[in-house]
Amino acid sequence: MEIGLTGIALTEHDTWWPRQDFRERRKKFPGLTILDGVEISCLEGHFLVFVPDSDARFKIGIASILELRGLVDSHKGILIWAHPFYMSIVGCLFS
């Protein structure tokens, strides 16, 4: 890529992008690794979810991080806290 990237991860808040969009992007940029995921809102904050099987698109609207983690683990996925220092309704979990 012109700016030196070898990969990107794309997510949207509480919605899965259409799989066809990613197929087209991957064909258009064969030298770029493109990960598709979703940013899921839970009581504890926002979490980025990436699962290896792009067909494993589970429901949005999960109440807690414990429920989300169990679901992501069952799909052998990756879970990343999107904004760990963001002050939200529950407050910052770090002191």
Low-confidence ranges of the chain (pLDDT < 50): none
Burial of 39 (0-12, 13-18, 19+ CB in 10 A): middle
Note down the domain range covering 23: 7-81
Q: What is the pLDDT of residue 91?
A: 53
Per-residue model confidence as pLDDT tens digits over 42-55: 888 899 999 887 66
pTM of the full predicted structure? 0.79
Q: Does residue 48 fall inside a structural domain?
A: yes
Q: Does residue 95 fall inside a structural domain?
A: no
Q: Does residue 65 fall inside a structural domain?
A: yes
Q: Is 79 helix (H, G, I), strand (E, B) or coil?
A: strand
Q: Does residue 2 fall inside a structural domain?
A: no
